[in-house]
A and B are shown apart, each in its own frame.
Chain A
Amino acid sequence: MSYVTIDQVTKGYENQVVLNDISLVLKKGEFATLLGQSGCGKSTLLRSIAGLEDVDLGRILIDGKDITNLSPRQREVGMVFQSYALFPNMNVFDNIAYGLKMKKIKNIKSRVKKMIEMVDLIGKEESYPHQLSGGQQQRVALARALVMEPKVLLLDEPLSALDAKIRKNLQKELKRIQKELDITTIFVTHDQEEAMTMSDRIFVMNKGQVVQSGSPSEIYTSPVNTFVAKFIGNYNVCNMEAFRKLVRSTELKGNEVAIRPEVLQLVSVGEDSLDLQENWVIKGIIKDVSMTGNVLRYEVETEESVFLVDYLHHRGNMFEQGARVHILVPKKECIIL
């Protein structure tokens, strides 16, 4: 059953289309992520749902009610901004209670207290925003949005200003609270790892359009085009003609082939144990080795292009720069685009 419906929404600024005929449907309680590069329209779509931007065409429905032309205050959506947007003249309690006061809702004290407990800010009620850390400010912003019991929670890159460790913790917290309240959430980010970690469903956006949607696993393992393949997982995307030359095969069709770096294997030249039944084999030279914590990334130069090969970082996986290798490409893992 659809809970949030974006129906053919289009928006433009001075001859430039920002949202191009976007349609998407979310179920109640779902955690959906709009993922894309800067300028792809994801924040504009979020702001359109919030009512902070008008749409030129299309409809937005929440729980069956058309909210396209309602003002932000009538939409029953909560939003957390990238820069938190806490009110500097109010302390934590007043910030969280603000919406309740505006709507003249009763039991303000108990509702705010409950929310402060939920976001783990007990003892900080009297603190002003400038006296809080970035993570604490984010919790206040979240509590301020949630205390209104919105039908939909909108999160506009709320974790991007935080350092890595706090971000990881808040990702878990956010997910926990979302599940606990069973609140439909739309999260905007340009960080694919964050999107994978948190989402039930991801909508990959490019140039004002949703180019692919699905579960994190579907998006990661089955990209539908070159953009998604490159954006979502550092895929090796190779021109089909060049790939045919490299693997000396004419049976492959399509325009391009995409292969994830972690499914490739490196074998030193001279080793005989090559499974030619299951794999293609490409000759190459290690051009560069870089380390991203637990992952070793090899750049292997071949006759036609450079391939990225990811290995878990342990002693047995070490290849020297300049070493001649064979790249084993599992046939099953080649995605034809």
Chain B
Amino acid sequence: MKSSLTIHKVIVGLLVIYLLIPLVGTFLFSIAGKWDHTILPESYTMKWYIELFQDERFYDAFRRTLFLIVMSVGLSVVIMLPTIFIITVYFSKWEGLLQAVAMLPYGIPPIVGAVGLIKVYSDGPIQIAGTPWILIGAYFITILPFMYQGIRNSLRTLNAVQLVDAAELLGATKFQAFRTVVFPNIISGILVSTLLSVALLFSEFAFANLLVGGRFETLQIYLADKLNSSGHLTSAIVITYYSMILLLTGTVLKLTFRNEKYPVVSNKKRILSFFRKQYSHKNTTLEGEK
């Protein structure tokens, strides 16, 4: 029994090392001064990070990426949330069709999708090929499965149809029922879908490169460009990027975990208390520093 446990631990340990070595290596390379013939760097420096954070192009790329993500995810929430709600609650027989449409992006490789989009939007009434708008459209489709599954699962877990029925019988309009009963209960589901989508879009390269490339340099395009100039700088970009993703994933996991622990507590209060906790934690640190 004990030996089998040890074997499990060894396997898990090896897996963790296997997964972490590239990250640790990248991190060390991003802070290495000279590293040629030794196992560990001979000297350490922060100059690659300083160089990165002093580069206007990095901030521009970051801003563009953020703009694309906020627009795509925002658009997705605004369009998909009412669509999924209406289909689930009032037109359930169309649910299969919506699901099939939402899953389509999985079946189309980015290269095929990108070529098709460029062809369609190069001429005709909507000429947006090469502009960020085509990328926003492509990203909207890319994150569709995440948004659809997340929102639909939240609605199903909640038994939204019956709650809307109950609210309407108590005098609420359809919109009031959605706003006061359904939305507060699925907000954490929406948040999880949103954060997953944001994390996915942060690392998206294929569409960005094929559809807009250098004309609208995103973080990934910037990273690809820097790969050719300095390995140390590229490592610093990768670590910065990973840190952001880690922060996002951590937030998602924290919200999901709290969701499982308190399945039906007010989501509004849950999220508020989450942010309050973060705020009070920040305050405590500041007071401590004083």
Contacts and interface: CB of A to CB of B under 8 A. Distances in A.
A79 B166 contact: yes
Nearest to B166: A85
Contacts of A144: 170
Contacts of B180: 87, 98
Contacts of B170: 73, 98-99, 102, 144, 148
B214 to A, nearest CB: 48
A87 B186 CA distance: 12
A89 B169 contact: no
Nearest to B186: A89
Given A72-B165, A72-B169, A85 B159 contact: yes
Given A73-B168, A102-B171, A148-B171, A89 B162 contact: no
Interface in B263-290: 263-269
A60 interface: no
B172 interface: yes
A81 interface: yes
Contacts of B185: 87-89
B167 interface: yes
A99 B180 CA distance: 12
B66 interface: no
A44 to B, nearest CB: 13
Interface in A54-100: 71-73, 75, 77-79, 81, 83, 85, 87-90, 98-99
Contact of B168 (A72, A103, A130): A72
B173 A130 contact: no
Contact of B176 (A77, A83, A102): A102
Interface residues of B, number: 26
Q: Is the interface of B mostly helix, strand, loop or mixed?
A: helix
B71 interface: no
B168 A85 contact: no
Contacts of A99: 170-171
Contact of B169 (A50, A90, A130): A50
Interface string A25-63: 000000000000000000000000011100000000000
A216 interface: no
Contacts of B266: 88-90, 128
Contacts of A73: 168-173
A223 interface: no
A129 interface: yes
Interface in A148-207: 148
Contacts of B159: 83, 85
B174 to A, nearest CB: 9
Q: State the 6 A-B residue pairs at the shortest beta-carbon distance, nearest first.
A: A99-B170, A88-B264, A102-B171, A85-B166, A89-B266, A130-B264
22 contacts: A73-B170, A77-B169, A79-B166, A81-B165, A83-B159, A85-B165, A87-B163, A87-B167, A87-B180, A88-B266, A89-B267, A89-B269, A98-B180, A99-B171, A102-B167, A102-B170, A102-B171, A102-B172, A102-B176, A128-B266, A129-B264, A145-B169
Given A50-B165, A81-B165, A145-B169, 15 more contacts: A50-B169, A52-B169, A71-B168, A72-B168, A73-B171, A78-B169, A81-B162, A85-B159, A85-B162, A89-B184, A89-B269, A99-B171, A128-B264, A130-B264, A148-B170
